[in-house]
Structure 1
Amino acid sequence: MRGIDRTVSLSVLLLLSCATPSLWGQAGRIEGVIVLKRTGDPFHNVVVHLEELGRTTQTNHDGRFAFDNVPPGQYRLHAHADIALTDAFETATVGAGETARVKLELDLATVREKVTVTAAGIPQSVFETFQAVDARNSFDLAAQISPTIGETLANRPGNGIAMRSFGPGTGRPIVRGFDGDRVLVLQDGIPTGALSSQSGDHAELINTAGLDRLEVVKGPATLLYGGSGVGGVVNAITRHHAFHEHAHRGLRGYLSGTGGSANGFANGAGGFEYGVKDWMVWGGGGGQRSGDYWTPIGRIPNSDTRLSSGYGGLGRYGNKHFFSLNATYDSGLYGVPFSHLLHGHEDDHEKEEQHHGRSRRLAAGPHAEEPDHEHELARTELDASRQAYQFSWGVKNPSGALENFVLRLNYSRWRHDEIEVADDGHRQTGTRFDNRQFLWRGMFEQARRGGLTGRFGFWGMVRDYKAAGEEALAPPVDQQAFALFALEELNLERVKFQFGGRLEHNRYVPGPAQQPFPKRSFTGVSASSGVHIGLWQGGAFLANYNRSYRAPALEELYNRGPHVGNLAYEIGNPGLKPETGNGIDVSLRHQRRRAHGEFNLFYYDFNNFVFPFATGEREEGFQVVRFAEAKSRFYGTELNLGLGLHRYLWLHLGSDYVNAQEKWQEIPLPRIPPLRGRASLEWNWQGLRVEPEMIVAARQRRTFPGETETPGYAVFHWTASYTISRGHFVHQFALNAFNLGDRLYRNHSSFIKELAPEIGRGVRFTYRVRFY
């Protein structure tokens, strides 16, 4: 403990030293105007962000804006009005006591520069980030509305993101081959509190039609987000102002509707923000449903889904202080295809015992003592809900050394019931999960000192997990966690450096159970360093080294029993050690008017990598897996290339590959996606966009024990959209025709790929209007 105390003390001193004030030259000023490119008219209520200082303002009725007290140096300005219009970027050089003047032009978007708020905790261009990022705005999402975030992100090979599923309601992203507790899902920068990382048949209740942005940071993101981000972070952002602490005047919002075939898909969503002086109120919500989906070999029963969501809040954003309150409620109901068959894989004796036990339980009502007849299990449904309440408070310019401080508090409760439905329609809860967590996160944004910027802070969590019923594999567990972190950047104009560290502590306290489980505590450090080198105008080379640390997950420590959602009899290991890894990412980027591309190469080497080791035994009809530790490695590549063949015509190419295995016995790790590729032609003309696309995947021969090989495939899609901008309204009409050849193909990362191939030929239509 003394060693830990000394480490904590040194870390606190290091973090506080980052805030040491220093004196620089006389401050200057930036003035500017924003106009519509096609008419030259000034554009009001445009949000302008000064990236290096993290400061934001808004244009007046003449389209003008200004930033005062700007230290000498070079700065990048980012203007945002609406996602259907281009985001404008401009560079301003400020001398001591001087005023820099700039002009930015907005136009109807055809090619959009991507922006992220997740990679470094502040808004910045994807091209400027040190990490590989996949960022999609609401315009991109509306063109390809999908039932889950997993399906939405996995439809673009080249980004390194695949989908794990147990039917259409459960799609969850796999990032560079990482799954489960190694991919952290956030909503507005806060963990959702869902249990989708634990089981293949658990879901995230996120309606993609209601998002402002969907971002993925690929590779280790443990510095800002903790050990569960060792493989990547997915951030679903509901509102532009969830990460921009400023008010805007007037009313903004959207309405969206989608309908489609092959599964009777329907989706509707809407939201608004209204600002008066320093105050803002907002609200929104939506609903989604789909029936059983159709494949080339027929209908997949019990694959229907339902989702509804709503949110609302208010906030005040003054010149010095700001605060906001937000409440969210989500609910979902979805079927688990073929669950009745998966319960029945026992040998004859086990099958008979399981059958009679289950039949007696299904026949009995919740309060019945003895059933008088038996019934078969017909299907399983999952009924889930999530409540979340967030309070944010911040102060601007608290001292000469700090630009701002933001504190976020969040309470969430996740609850879902696994409902077993008998052949006579009788419904009974087989297992109930309840997960409550309270999180806090405070982050200080440093004032720029020459080329040095950065942020540091603290994070904590208290979690109460309970499960009861047939699949209650772990005891009740209380979890406490705390962390200190810092992330610094040194900008020498053509060359930039990033470095940081995180000290994190996790503690698990199991509750009463049939057998005693030990308490466990873990404390460790994550660190990273990177360099971003400008090679030519629009070109850059990046290299990152990272040391990651992850405490074992609750289920890896304490699970024991048959787990239908993972098709395994799981045996946890309370003696697991923390998982540590060393990784290298190398990237080459190019972004110009007629060509853009990115090539990523990564290699990660892990000690004590926790994975489900297949013992070769069977228990209750499932293969027995023990959570064990072993040295493991991941490597892979990602390529995205866009070439302007003509003023209106682009060729897009993409490919990704990951290879992952345990190093001692060279056993491939489970559910690793195959080599994938993408080719498309995109035609843009005056708001009309048409893009035929081909997606291919190679045969996956590298399989984990118990997995089967998955054949390769090629499928064809066609997307089109038409965008009209009239005054302060933007109308978007979109068509997404998928699997045009009605090809029979299977997703290697699906738990039920042998029983349920992917969806057949279908089409979805979307209309969306934005007003601002």
Structure 2
Amino acid sequence: MLKYSPVALLVAQVLALPVAAQDTQETSKAQHEHDNTEVIVITASPLARTELNSAQPISVISGDELREKQAHTLGETLAQEPGINATHFARVASSPVIRGLDGPRVKITQNGLDTGDVSRGSPDHAVTTETSVAEQIEILRGPATLLYGSGAIGGVVNVVDERIAQDFVGGTRGFFGGNLATVDDLRDATFGITSDVGNTVWHFDGFTRSSDDYSTPTFLNEEGEAVDSVENSFVDAMGGTVGVSYILDNGFIGASYARLEQEYGIPGHAHHEEEHEDEHGHEEEHADEHDDHEGEVLPYADLVQDRVQLHAGFDQPFSGIEKLDIRYAFTDYQHQEIEGDVAGTTFTNEQHELRVTANHHLTGNWYGAIGYHGFDQQQAAFGEEAYTPASDTTRHGFFWLAETRDDALNWQTGIRYELVDISAPGLEVGASDYEFKPFSASFGVSYQWHPLVRFNANLSHAERAPSANELFANGQHLATRTYELGLNYELHEEGDHAYVIEAADRAPALEKSNTLDLGTHIEYGDNHLDITLFVSQIDNFIFENVTSVNSVDLIQDHGHEDEHEGEHEGEHEEHAEEDAHDHSEGLPVVHYQQVDALLFGYEISGLWQLTDEWKLTAFSDYTRAYTEDSRSNLPRIPQQRLGSEITYNQGTWEARVGYIWHAEQNRVAINETPTPSFGLLNAQFNYFPQTFAANNLSIYVKADNLTDKLGYVHTSFLKEQAPLAGRNFSIGIRGEF
């Protein structure tokens, strides 16, 4: 006869869910007293959901697990989570890929509000969240549009930190950490402290990080040369945050200010610089510059972001409202892509965001949250790679969520209606202003079928308005080595190798996704197994269609030849010299188009406590994606993965060894090449010294890719130019006080 799991009983008690027989309920209190399991609340949901009682697939990384996985980029930090991959832009600007979707379909937030960077528009633009000072990272797979808007049609990654405290911390507490690594000569350090001062709580944190070009197993670069590192993949970053909260009897009011400064190389552009030198006879001049200012000749990004965030919460502020939550953020962002001593392109973003959420009791066991979400974004780009014109995007969203709490059968539902306006005032070709009205809804159920088994199902309809980049792009994008053309345009052939860019005669449509998630959570003692199956049918999927057209053959419809051709024929020498960076051979034209698509797959993860000392974890994930009309494969869909790790723990120390196998990806899109399979062997040793000077102190030694295996990432735009890092040894320390 099976014994009821203490963990399952604890979760059931916390969630107020009846679990099986009455005698089980009566023993739950006693079990709770002997169980230290922490039930983590998902801050990304206003209805206090946990990983277990959410109908939507949600996972949380926190504590030691987060510290061990922490990397420079958010994408690399999450890259080993089931269903999550990374764009792997050479470790300098990797973003999360959720179930094969990335870019404008994946929302990245800091404490529930958009990060305010421009990472959703290009893979070489860095995400500005900092995971080394985060408290936890929440991942919502599948559409999360109800609370976050149409930009979350593929999922949400919410990075949570302590910059605005919601309650007293009971004195003073803090954290610290440092890390050294061999593969890129990494040096980083983090520190944070939070302290009660009267009726206020103050928080300070900061980090600094520096690394050089990272080493790889030997591979052939574009020139056919054998190399063992990724050129121009350095990173220099630092940042800090100060926050203060005033604690009230029924809530809190807080504010924070954060600044991030970062310089990082842009791999894949180096060969353009070399061509520039060869064509114009500046080899000697640039060689001198390299001697005097090592690293400055190759293109690099210089990023600065200032962010002000306000957060207030009130319990029962007035009749009928159980909780009122107000969040506001203003972000001033700029990054320049610099070549030599010249800023070739500058990207800016000024963004305001406001979310007001009111929790209320509906009737009986039903609880709800209603709210307003306002968003205003002003983006601009100047210079030779300003492929998207300056644009303004405003959104006004109204949402309502509801769920039951007291039954084993937990229902969850909600709707959202949005008004979206996207304009590009200076546009010369096509419409310059679009309005969209996305509507999204979801319905889910979480059922405690047995004390050990929970079933989840979630059906969602989500609509997404195209981004400004998908609408108005019209120019060279060297990060992806393409010439991007948005939905606002169409190509008309004017003869041999001549194509006119005209206004599209078909208006862009909303992306409409219908997604079904089916999940099972099985937990017995310290063992658990999670299985999720998903399928998404997306109408009007915005698809990057690689055409057979070359950018040198493009002509704008107002009669002027595009800068890739016309300026080489009649302009003076200085102007021609500037445009030599555009390649005399041109770039392939990628034309955004809309098709119907189908995505489906699975995510499986499990943990087995074999003995008191031995623990085994394993996971696997898979995504299949293609267009419905022609069954053409969508580009950059992740490889199937299978991974496992064995851990031996002896109290004050533990050792672990893990292996992740990446299958071959041979279901490729047009102009894609298959990606071969590979496996990564990793090991780690942790020592936990007992000391009164610090809590949870850990000293660790890690070895990544022990066999120095060459691995290519299919989701990367730089797959052939920037493989995964080679064998890496690192040592670090982390602790709390």
TM-score normalized by structure 2?
0.84
Deviations 1:398-429 (A, max 9, x none): 234221101111100111001112xxxxx211
Amino acid of the residue matched to residue 731 of structure 2? F
1:233 aligns with 2:156: yes
Deviations 1:191-224 (A, max 9, x none): 0111111112111133322111112111111111
Does the 8 A contact of 1:525 with 1:549 survive in 2? yes
| Aligned-pair CA distance for 1:741 | 0.5
Amino acid of the residue matched to residue 530 of structure 2? E
Deviations 1:126-178 (A, max 9, x none): 1222221221113112223322111111134xx10011032111111100000
Task: After superposing the two structures, state which structure 1 stretch, 228-237 or 201-210, moved more.
Answer: 201-210
Does the 8 A contact of 2:425 with 2:432 survive in 1? no
Match runs of 1:628-667 below 5 Å = 628-667=593-632
Does the 8 A contact of 1:631 with 1:663 survive in 2? yes
Partner of 1:420: 339
Deviations 1:516-536 (A, max 9, x none): 642100012100000111121
Amino acid of the residue matched to residue 302 of structure 1? N
Which of 436, 449, 455 matches 1:541?
A: 455
C-alpha distance 135-92 of structure 1, shift in aligned 2 (>3 A): farther
| Aligned-pair CA distance for 1:721 | 2.1
| Aligned-pair CA distance for 1:573 | 1.4
| Aligned-pair CA distance for 1:646 | 1.1
Which of 134, 137, 140 matches 2:62?
A: 137
Residues of 2 paired with 1:386 and 1:399: CA distance?
A: 37
C-alpha distance 503-51 of structure 1, shift in aligned 2 (>3 A): farther
1:247 aligns with 2:171: no
Which of 692, 712, 719 matches 1:746?
A: 712
Match runs of 1:521-600 below 5 Å = 521-574=435-488, 575-600=507-532
Does the 8 A contact of 2:626 with 2:632 survive in 1? yes
Which of 286, 305, 311 matches 2:235?
A: 305
C-alpha distance 92-320 of structure 1, shift in aligned 2 (>3 A): farther
Residues of 2 paired with 1:74 and 1:742: CA distance?
A: 49
CA RMSD between the two structures: 2.8
Which of 285, 290, 299 matches 2:211?
A: 290
Amino acid of the residue matched to residue 471 of structure 2? L
Residues of 1 paired with 2:313 and 2:137: CA distance?
A: 24
| Aligned-pair CA distance for 1:494 | 1.2
Partner of 2:3: none
C-alpha distance 92-735 of structure 1, shift in aligned 2 (>3 A): farther
Residues of 2 paired with 1:419 and 1:647: CA distance?
A: 55
Partner of 1:479: 393
Amino acid of the residue matched to residue 720 of structure 2? E
Amino acid of the residue matched to residue 757 of structure 1? P
Does the 8 A contact of 1:489 with 1:499 survive in 2? yes
Partner of 1:668: 633
1:702 aligns with 2:667: yes
Deviations 1:86-122 (A, max 9, x none): xxxx99999xxxxx99974676xxxx65624245235
Amino acid of the residue matched to residue 715 of structure 2? S
Residues of 2 paired with 1:253 and 1:506: CA distance?
A: 42
Deviations 1:534-581 (A, max 9, x none): 121131011110000100011000000111112211101123111111
**Structure 1: 5+ residue stretches without partners:** 1-49, 53-72, 77-89, 95-99, 345-350, 364-375, 422-426
Amino acid of the residue matched to residue 645 of structure 2? S
Partner of 1:680: 645
**Secondary structure of the corresponding residue to residue 115 of structure 1:** coil
Residues of 2 paired with 1:430 and 1:468: CA distance?
A: 8
Partner of 2:542: 610
Does the 8 A contact of 1:146 with 1:152 survive in 2? yes
Does the 8 A contact of 1:558 with 1:572 survive in 2? yes
Residues of 2 paired with 1:487 and 1:685: CA distance?
A: 46
C-alpha distance 441-615 of structure 1, shift in aligned 2 (>3 A): same
Residues of 1 paired with 2:389 and 2:25: CA distance?
A: 56
Residues of 2 paired with 1:705 and 1:551: CA distance?
A: 26
Residues of 2 paired with 1:355 and 1:412: CA distance?
A: 41
Does the 8 A contact of 1:248 with 1:276 survive in 2? no
| Aligned-pair CA distance for 1:75 | 10
Does the 8 A contact of 1:570 with 1:626 survive in 2? yes
Amino acid of the residue matched to residue 261 of structure 2? S
Does the 8 A contact of 2:17 with 2:408 survive in 1? no
Does the 8 A contact of 1:453 with 1:489 survive in 2? yes
Partner of 1:273: 194
Partner of 1:128: 53
Amino acid of the residue matched to residue 322 of structure 2? E
C-alpha distance 358-470 of structure 1, shift in aligned 2 (>3 A): farther
Partner of 1:192: 115
Deviations 1:228-251 (A, max 9, x none): 111110111122x75x62223310
Which of 407, 414, 423 matches 1:500?
A: 414
Amino acid of the residue matched to residue 407 of structure 1? I
**Structure 2: 5+ residue stretches without partners:** 1-12, 219-227, 287-294, 489-506, 553-585
Which of 204, 208, 211 matches 2:131?
A: 208
Residues of 1 paired with 2:94 and 2:30: CA distance?
A: 48
Match runs of 1:319-358 below 5 Å = 319-341=249-271
| Aligned-pair CA distance for 1:652 | 1.3
Partner of 1:39: none
Partner of 1:32: none
| Aligned-pair CA distance for 1:276 | 3.4
Residues of 2 paired with 1:586 and 1:687: CA distance?
A: 40
Residues of 2 paired with 1:233 and 1:356: CA distance?
A: 45
1:150 aligns with 2:67: no
C-alpha distance 642-106 of structure 1, shift in aligned 2 (>3 A): closer
Residues of 2 paired with 1:440 and 1:187: CA distance?
A: 13
Which of 98, 103, 107 matches 1:180?
A: 103
Does the 8 A contact of 1:92 with 1:102 survive in 2? no
Amino acid of the residue matched to residue 629 of structure 1? Q
1:117 aligns with 2:42: yes
Does the 8 A contact of 1:283 with 1:311 survive in 2? yes
| Aligned-pair CA distance for 1:734 | 2.3
C-alpha distance 687-397 of structure 1, shift in aligned 2 (>3 A): farther
Which of 398, 408, 411 matches 2:317?
A: 398
Task: After superposing the two structures, state which structure 1 stretch, 134-143 or 456-465, moved more.
Answer: 134-143
1:162 aligns with 2:85: yes
| Aligned-pair CA distance for 1:511 | 2.1
Partner of 2:658: 693
Residues of 2 paired with 1:379 and 1:756: CA distance?
A: 16
C-alpha distance 569-603 of structure 1, shift in aligned 2 (>3 A): same
